[in-house]
A and B are shown apart, each in its own frame.
Chain A
Amino acid sequence: MSSVSRIILQRLGLGILTLFIVSIVIFIAVNLLPGDFAQLVLGQGATPEAVEAIRKDLGLDQGLIPRYFQWLGGVLVGDLGNSFANANFASFVGTNANVTAPTVAEQIAPRFEATLFLAGVTAAIAVPLSLTLGILAALYRNSIFDRVTNVFTLSSISSPEFFLAYILILFLAVMNPLLPSLSNIHDGLPFGERLTRTLLPALTLTLAVTAQMMRMTRAAIINLLASPYIEMARLKGLSPLRVIVTHALPNALAPIITVIALNLAYLITGVVVVEVVFVYPGIGQLFVDSVKIRDIPLVQACCLIFAAAYILLNLTADVLSILSNPRLRHPK
């Protein structure tokens, strides 16, 4: 087995192990909640029998460890359990027992798809934009253009997302009604309309992530400009743009790819605030809502999905940066 595939397999194994431990951490954290859902939903005047019945139905009467493995086993086959809040408690009082409540997986699936759509639109805008800006900033380094972009990107990266969101709403939705300020997305919306309604949150996220990618691109390229082969390309009489795009950029790809993957990870996990501002029906909003009503299976599942996406993209960044290093790809 070549060394590079061994390294990649190692990283994969490490990622799976991390995910496993993270799932334990999440499970334990959630089960630290005082009182359980049965008491919460029935309130003060609950009879012990009713509490016991709900506990039994939800499996809360078992110990921590069997419950964990039950949950984990379910997760592995795509069964994330039943949402407490939407559970059909009518069955406990004996009426209307045939109505089925949506499972967590059913609740999460459309939300997750919406979040992926938002992240995809953002990435489609942010990645080309930040690469272009980064290359331009490296090309015209220390000029007025470089300084102005530096100030702007630094400001946008350090502002809270809701500030950027409200500024965009103010100028693009309220003062000049170009885009809708609420992302009212539902099934069966034509693609164009859906894109328009997603554009404002996507622009907010673009402002939040572009800065770091652009600064990294600039720094990675400028780092290489002192190398002898760049000097050579310059002495051959190539134009500055060509020196940077064909000679410096390919060698600067590793850090750039890493930072892009990290920012995509941020896009999937950092959407919570933006989704709340724009009432975008994504997984971030579902998470905040379920946190507020302490819907344990939903909180667990959302947390796990976020952590998995985060670990996966970090892993991708790791693997890609290994693959982009020719010394590792072609060992002596």
Chain B
Amino acid sequence: MTVLYIALMIVGCVGLGWVFRFTGQRISDNAPYFRDMGLGSAFGFALGMVVLLWVVVTYYRGITAEGQDANKYFFFLVAVHGLIAFSVLAYFFRVLGTLIGSEGSKKVFRNMPLTASFGIVIILAYAFVSLFAGQISVTTIVIVGVIGLIIAEIVRAGGDGDAAKGIGAAFGIAIVIMIVMFFVGPLAPYGQEEVLAKANVVPGGNPAMGGDPEFPLGTDQIGRDILSRLIYGAQNTVGIAFATTVLSFLIGGSLGLLAATLGGWLDQVVSRAVDVLMAIPALIFALLLMTIASAWAGSEKWLLTVFMVIIIAVIDSTRVFRLSRAVGLNIVVMDYIEAAKLRGEGLSYLIFREILPNATAPLLAEFGLRFCFVFLTIASLSFLGVGIQPPLADWGTMVKDLAQFINFAAFAPQVASAPLLAAGAIALLTVAVNFVVDWMLHKSSGLKE
């Protein structure tokens, strides 16, 4: 029955496409665009129109539906609104980028696809939320300021005055934002471990439905505010994933560049070890090692999180090693490396001043991809119950804990939204990073056709 329906739909679309092409040819007086259009493209246009029509009709029925009927359209409306809101946000961010900034940055923004601008704006939003989830302390502001001063001074001493100015300005803006946020207070209304008096409050904030305006997303089984935990989840999940990726790049990147520069037995030993480690599927190996780590950590939950960071960093550094070694090998054979060697430069000079600057672009793109991978691995481990441990709020764990509420979606869609929000928060960030990386790779590869 369904097959017949689909077949009818396809035939109908082909007919519609033919009509569309025919009218196009008549109206435009046989313009080349319509004259040379294949039936396949015409079918595509027709299908697109049908889908668009379906979306518009469903949307209209959704906003006019009443009572129990409206529940059916709840998630559809959320999806449409979300899509429109994100598109508008990305569009205005791109417009903003073309107006503010230096000539170079303006040009980058002018040629940016909407997906990349969406990605950048989402990444910035996540960074903001994860930094200011809790109350920011004065020491943090001072530390950031000192680090900024040191970096700017080092760059200035290196003889690059403009870059130093840029870095100084960036840190200055960061400190202004931090001071503002210091007085605004934490973004999360409650603490992540705070157990409140009311448990199982329904999301939506409507008292008639069992909600509470004080907890817009409700509370979980033991009475912790879900909104606060989502916000703290940004800090914990993203922060831990970021730290893991940095660690994995420190291990993999330095070993890879060393292997490429020195070659010989070091290269052989590390490469073979990496081959073996990469022959075991990453998630399976991580699960195996987490079993052992959980036995070692015992009841010390924070220790288990530390073990997880190390385990995933080591597993992931094998991939980083592969790439940085390959990139390094391509650079090592260059003439300027030969010249530097003949000048008698040491190993650290070769790696930090000659190889690393030339390997930055591919490593940066890889950093984005590795971050996504690490982030998803940590979320999956938490989802399986062996990742980030309570009481730390974490999105993967939240999905696992709240998942059964999805079954109530048909008659109380707000209830089902909590686990979907946590899972969606994970998906949104990885999608955003992937969009940006895709754009960077496309830009650097110069593939046109």
A residues near B (Cβ < 8 Å) are 18-19, 21-22, 25-26, 29-30, 32-35, 139-141, 143-145, 151, 154-155, 157-163, 166-167, 169-171, 174-175, 181, 222, 225-226, 239-241, 265, 269-270, 272-273, 276-277, 287-288, 291-292, 294, 299, 302-303, 306-307, 310-311, 314
Contacts and interface: CB of A to CB of B under 8 A. Distances in A.
Could you tell me the dominant secondary structure of chain B's interface residues?
A: helix
Contacts of B41: 140, 143
B430 A292 contact: no
Contacts of A139: 40
Contact of B431 (A154, A226, A294): A154
Nearest to A141: B449
Contacts of A35: 295
Nearest to A21: B276
Contact of A299 (B276, B291, B379, B403): B291
Interface string B281-305: 1011101111110011000000000
B185 interface: no
Nearest to A32: B292
Given A154-B434, A158-B433, A306 B284 contact: yes
A172 B403 CA distance: 16
B280 A307 contact: yes
B280 A291 contact: no
Contacts of A287: 284, 287
Contacts of A141: 449
Interface string B392-431: 0000100100010011011000001001100110110011
B435 interface: yes
B380 A161 contact: yes
B438 interface: yes
A299 B288 contact: yes
Contacts of A226: 449
Interface stretch (B204-212, B322-330, B383-391): B383-391
Contacts of A314: 279
12 contacts: A32-B292, A34-B295, A158-B376, A158-B431, A158-B433, A169-B406, A175-B410, A222-B447, A269-B281, A269-B283, A294-B295, A299-B288
A243 B75 CA distance: 43
A240 B449 CA distance: 14
A140 B285 CA distance: 41
Contact of B284 (A21, A161, A163, A272): A272
B115 interface: yes
Given A33-B291, A159-B427, 20 more contacts: A22-B276, A25-B277, A26-B280, A33-B292, A34-B295, A151-B115, A158-B430, A158-B431, A160-B376, A160-B426, A161-B380, A170-B75, A170-B416, A174-B407, A240-B38, A288-B287, A288-B384, A291-B386, A310-B279, A311-B279
Contact of B399 (A29, A166, A270): A166
B44 interface: yes
B418 to A, nearest CB: 11
Contacts of A288: 287, 384
B101 interface: no
Contact of B279 (A157, A276, A307): A307
A18 B276 contact: yes
The residue among B38, B291, B426 with the most chain A CB atoms within 10 A of its own CB is: B291
The residue among A30, A32, A160 with the most chain B CB atoms within 10 A of its own CB is: A160
A174 B288 contact: no
A163 B44 contact: no
Contact of B380 (A29, A151, A160): A160
Contacts of A151: 115
Nearest to A291: B291
B44 A140 contact: yes
A159 B426 CA distance: 7
A291 B290 contact: yes
Contact of B288 (A167, A181, A303): A303
Given A22-B276, A160-B379, A276 B424 contact: no
Contacts of A270: 281, 283
Contact of B295 (A33, A174, A175, A306): A33
A22 B380 contact: no
Interface in B208-264: none
List the 5 closest pairs (A to B, CB-CB), nearest first: A269-B281, A163-B423, A159-B427, A158-B430, A158-B434
A18 B384 contact: no
Given A170-B75, A174-B409, A310-B281, A225 B427 contact: no
Contact of B296 (A30, A34, A144): A34
B389 to A, nearest CB: 14
Contacts of A18: 275-276, 279
A171 B379 contact: no
B106 interface: no
A25 B40 contact: no
B426 A306 contact: no
B48 interface: yes
A272 B403 CA distance: 17
A283 B284 CA distance: 12
B230 to A, nearest CB: 14
B372 interface: yes
Contacts of A170: 75, 406, 409, 416, 420
B198 interface: no
Given A151-B115, A154-B431, A161-B380, A307 B284 contact: yes
B299 to A, nearest CB: 13
Contact of B427 (A144, A158, A174): A158
Given A272-B283, A291-B386, A158 B372 contact: yes
Interface string B365-390: 00000001000100110011110000
A288 B288 CA distance: 9
A35 to B, nearest CB: 7
Contacts of B376: 158, 160
Contacts of B285: 303
A163 B434 contact: no
A261 to B, nearest CB: 14
Contacts of A143: 41, 44
Contacts of B289: 29
A166 B406 contact: yes
A315 B282 CA distance: 17
Interface in B30-74: 38, 40-41, 44, 48, 72
Nearest to B413: A175
B287 A272 contact: yes
Contacts of A161: 380
A240 to B, nearest CB: 8
Nearest to B280: A307
Contacts of A21: 276
Contact of A22 (B279, B295, B296, B410): B279
Nearest to A240: B38
B280 A22 contact: yes
Contacts of A181: 407
B280 A303 contact: yes
